Amino acid sequence: MADTEIKKGLAGVVADETAVSKVNPDTNSLLYRGYPVQELAATQSFEAVAYLLWHGELPTEDQLAEFERLERSLRPLDDRTLALLDTMPTQAHPMDIVRTVVSQLGTFDDTLHRAGGWTDPELDTGRSVYLFAQLPTVVAAVQRRRRGLDPISPRDDLDYARNFLWMTFGEEPDPVVVDAFNRSMILYAEHSFNASTFTARVIASTTADLYSAVTGAIGALKGPLHGGANEAVMYLFDEIGDASRVKGWLDAALAEKRKIMGFGHRVYKRGDSRVPTMKGALDTLVAHYDRQDIADLYDALESEFVERKGIYPNLDYPSGPAYHLIGFDTEIFTPLFIAARVTGWTAHIMEQQASNALIRPLSAYSGADERHIPGYVPDTAEVEAQERPEEAAG
């Protein structure tokens, strides 16, 4: 395979087809089931978008009402999950805690033990709603626990976004904050074959269960080159301090060849199509909380970096300061990403299972030439197996 072209990171490789979303770098657009994400973020609840990703169509009024009733009924945590949270080290990263909880949730699902239960489409749709409902309660409890506070039980009279904020902060959220948060969750919900989604599809292709695939996806999302970038953006803002220090800070950072998180994207070369919508949400939060200093720092760093490097912000750049203004701890930013992206992950898992082929790429070997242990003499069975390679297991 000496002449084989290797696509590092599978860049440019079309691994499969999907009907869940479409990223078009030429037109700088992102569609969920055919709908521009900007339109969905401006007009729909996150519940409606989750339904769309799973079912292919936006829900009718009756379908949405039924879905909301089901989701709200699944929000409370099992006592065993609350006990598990209490055993977690306080210094543990929230991503590790949420990953562990999702794995535990799979152990509660007795339907996994049925014949064919691992990949049953109807059961997987129910599991997707279950994770969608549970994750806000988990993430809110993790933030409160970090602050030495008791978890707040979910309310079934509040929609997804309001309830999430209520459970986290213990007060009725302002509509401005609810709208910004709802938009962020929709924008993060799905993005084609990104690293964590592809991880989920690889696991699903083995016919492992949905919980296993989501747990693996969370592991992929933890990395700062993927989901952890929104945390890193806020750490940059904290390090820089204010807009007046941007030029000097950037001079030093570029001289040290530091990677500036929140900028650049593997697919979008002319800017992330989701950024304008999220920047609009950030602007409303800046005005609501009277934090022009955040906007000034944001604008100064973006302007300076784009001018010097020609690389544009991605979604993590505006979402980091937006989540900060809402009041989320920086280390909670990526768990928020989990709560949003679980909708896309599970849509892809079910799509993979519906038309499955085990994902098993080839590799080009670059190690030592064949060599042998001195004095070793193979037995007859080994020699015969080597002479019939077509019968060997793959």
Active site residues: 265, 316
3-state percent helix, strand, coil for the chain, nearest multiple of 5: 60, 5, 35
Q: Please answer whether residues 93 and 331 qualify as being in contact, where contact means their C-beta atoms are separated by less than 8 angstroms.
A: yes
Output b/e per residue, 326-340; b: 16+ Cβ within 10 A: bebbbbbbbbbbbbb
Q: Please answer whether residues 74 and 134 qualify as being in contact, where contact means their C-beta atoms are separated by less than 8 angstroms.
A: yes
Q: Tell me the three state secondary structure of residue 70.
A: helix
Q: Tell me the three state secondary structure of residue 24.
A: strand
DSSP secondary structure, 167-187, as one string: HHHSSPPPHHHHHHHHHHHHH
**Residue 267: Cβ within 10 Å count:** 17
Residue 30 bridge partners (DSSP): 23
- Helices and strands of the chain, counted as H and E runs: 17, 3
Q: Angle at Cα 188 formed by Cα 187 and Cα 192, nearest 5°?
A: 100
Single-letter amino acid, residue 225:
L
Residue 313 bridge partners (DSSP): 263
Alpha-carbon radius of gyration of the chain? 23
Specify burial of residue 109 (Cβ count, 10 A radius: 0-12, 13-18, 19+).
Answer: middle
